[in-house]
Amino acid sequence: MKNPDRRKFLYGAGGSMMALPWLETVAAAGATNKLKEPSLRFASFYSPMGFVRDHFFPKQDSQDFLSMPTLSPLKKVGDKVTLITGLSRVNVRGVDVHNQCSSCYLSSADPHGPLKSVYPMDRTLDHLIADKVSHRTPIRSLELNCNTFKDLKESIYLDNISWYGPEHVATSIKDPRHVYQILFKTGKSDKDITDLILQDASNFKKSLNHHDKDKLDEYFTSVREVERQIEKLNSYYKIHKKADIQEPGESPMTRGEYIRLMGRFLVLAFQGDLTHVATFMLAPERWGTPQLYHELNFTKSHHGLTHAQGQDRVKKMLVQVDRFYVELFAEVLEQLDAIKEGEGTLLDHSMITLGSGLGDGEHHTMNELPIIVAGSANGRIKTGCILRCPENTPLANLWLSQAQLMGTDLKRFADSTGPLKGFLK
């Protein structure tokens, strides 16, 4: 292939679409001294109702955040993670606190501004970033949500962190089969996506070096593994009447397996350059229905646990839930860090945040928010440390810094007072 593009899209017989992972042969085409810098990816993970504070935040005189029970699952990628303390967000009194927490997490809008909502909502950070970078990828942004509940008694605000604007939700995707269809459109439901593009891929591989051929094979193998899981789900739902993903306990997947599969999709989307912007809800905010945590061997309401954490037995279960979500987040980071890309890894070329709209789920505080940022954004972010911000530093300062790193020309975001001090090297 003569002067191949930095990213080459392959189209198979069924109108399928697949982008390629980072390939040195392609990246180096036209370059003189060194490989071009890989594109930066942005993702925001949301965990509901805060975390148990004394298991998440180390003492003021300690820098060892990885020794905290809830954060210890991050040890394998600890040198690429930053814990940020002191951040706070807008809290509008007199309206539901949980609805604010999730729906306004990525907007932090001025509650006194000209907004057509009872909550401080506006266009969220992910879409402001997508406005700038979506031309680079076939998919503008990816909104993933690991909520399996079917009951409709809870509001839309509790179940979405991504919004195009006030009252205009960017509906999240909950069914893994739907995510698969979006990322790997075959045009024929029973066709294997990889089989459809093998001929194009084999022709393309002729122009690659040995290292890149191995990377391409690695990527296709990962896609095949996900396909097998989707095939199992499809077989299951052909037998059962309901086509949608079922409540935990009725589905062929445990809670952990479900979140892992959704996390795997995010990794593949970033690895294959299908999108550079994603949001990921590990669970909905304040959902009244109890949830089965298969791996933890109990069925509980997460919201209910937060309000009874004064009891040792309840607090112990809540800590287990917190750690469970951090473990699943850590697995995504480890997968990203295992993928070599240019002179670093896919995690090095990403900016992945895990946080919550509540600092304390028991007392509904919105200061001292639990925020973790993983990845160095191509070496620009300080990692492997705690960044202790002054008390009540606006969360929007972090969002502004991330927006600027992603190439936007924003000078201010919501109630920000400026980029987050000490965040960059």
Taken in order of first residue, the domains within the chain and their CATH numbers are 1-36+192-244 (no CATH), 40-174+255-405 (3.40.720)
Handedness of CA 301, 305, 311, 316 (dihedral sign): positive
Nearest Cα to 309, choosing from 387, 362, 374, 381? 362
Check whether 301 has a pLDDT greater than 90: yes
Each residue of 220-254: pLDDT tens digit?
777 777 877 787 777 766 766 544 444 444 567 89
Each residue of 60-98: pLDDT tens digit?
888 899 999 999 999 999 999 999 999 999 888 878 899
Are the C-beta atoms of residues 309 and 362 closer than 8 Å to each other?
yes
- DSSP 8-state secondary structure symbol assigned to residue 264: H
Sorted by sequence, the CB contacts under 8 Å of residue 313 that are 6+ apart come out as: none
Output the average pLDDT for the chain: 85
Look-up of token digits 């739902």: 237
Ranked by mean pLDDT, the top range of 152-156, 209-213, 299-303 is 299-303
d(CA 156, CA 166): 12
**Alpha carbon 268 to chain centroid, angstroms:** 12
Each residue of 130-173: pLDDT tens digit?
999 999 888 899 999 999 887 767 889 999 999 999 889 998 99
Nearest Cα to 18, choosing from 212, 346, 268? 268
d(CA 49, CA 362): 8
Q: What angle do CA 163, 168, 169 make, to 5 degrees?
A: 50
Residue 26 vs residues 8, 35, 63, 203: alpha-carbon distances, Å: 8, 9, 41, 14
pLDDT band at 31 (very low <50, low <70, confident <90, very high): very low
Which tokens hold the place of 266? Answer: 């995010």
d(CA 409, CA 401): 11
Nearest Cα to 159, choosing from 50, 288, 319? 288
CA-only gyration radius of the chain, Å: 21
